[in-house]
Amino acid sequence: MVSGKANSSSRGSRTGRRARAPLDEAALGDLALAYAARFATTAARLEAYLARKIAERGLAEGAKVDVPALVERLVALGYVDDAAFARMRARALVQRGYGARRIAAALHHAGVAAPLRAAHSPGEAAARRAAVVMAKKRRLGPWASSALGDGSPSDPARARAAREKAVAAMLRAGHHPDHVRFILAASGEEEVAAWLGEVAQEEEGMGKAWLA
């Protein structure tokens, strides 16, 4: 529960703009609805947004607001859905070529609880596919434009440095070290395609939403 008095902030006078009116329960509820309608969000993000607005504008004299309760009402109404957010965000990151560790970090940053983060971690097929997407984007492994990809570098020191850089890039993108090693050592795109095929049927049989 948060209560407060009229806020006479001088911010408006410093910038030449009129200060926004302090918030009451109704105004805060309107802000919460507008935010949830405009952005895919989580309960934690919405609560943080409302706390920022209270810090910026203050509360009207005598106003009493319960921010967690307001957020819970929007959750109960379906305007805020952490599971839907996690599913959408995880799928988007996989499609962009990011691995499980980066996805978990992004969901954690958004305030998604650990059980939901685990539930929406990509399966093996999706994780392999994402690693291939990133390798293609970064021109690594079979898609490398340098000698790194052909197995016969003319300059071993340069090839070693390039490989270390490639490994670091893939690990930063959140990919499993085993996936990184396989892709960088693959002899060609056909070998990578066969590697993807090893687990595709298994995950399809599990009905994974990642394949949609």
Give the model confidence (pLDDT) of 189-206 as tens digits: 999 999 999 987 766 655
Question: How confident is the model over 110-146, as pLDDT tens digits?
Answer: 999 999 999 999 999 999 999 999 999 999 999 997 5
Provide the domain limits for residue 70.
2-76
Using a pLDDT cut of 70, give the percent of the chain over it: 81
Quick one: 51 and 15 in the same domain?
yes
pTM for the predicted model, two decimal places: 0.80
Quick one: 92 and 72 in the same domain?
no
Q: Is the pLDDT of residue 5 over 90?
A: no
Quick one: 72 and 89 in the same domain?
no
Q: How many CB atoms lie within 10 A of CB 175?
A: 26
Per the structure, the count of domains in the chain is 2
- Per the CB < 8 A criterion, the answer to whether 59 and 2 are in contact is yes
Q: CA 10, CA 20: separation in Å to the nearest integer?
A: 11
Quick one: 143 and 186 in the same domain?
yes
* Distance from the first to the final alpha carbon of the chain: 43
Task: Show which of 46, 76, 106 is a domain's final residue.
Answer: 76
Task: Please provide the average confidence, as pLDDT, over all residues in the chain.
Answer: 87
Quick one: 51 and 34 in the same domain?
yes
Quick one: 94 and 25 in the same domain?
no
Quick one: 52 and 146 in the same domain?
no
Question: How confident is the model over 12-57, as pLDDT tens digits?
Answer: 444 445 668 899 999 999 999 999 999 999 999 999 999 999 999 9
Residue 63 per-residue DSSP state = E
How many angstroms separate the Cα of 113 from the Cα of each of 117, 119, 203? 6, 10, 25
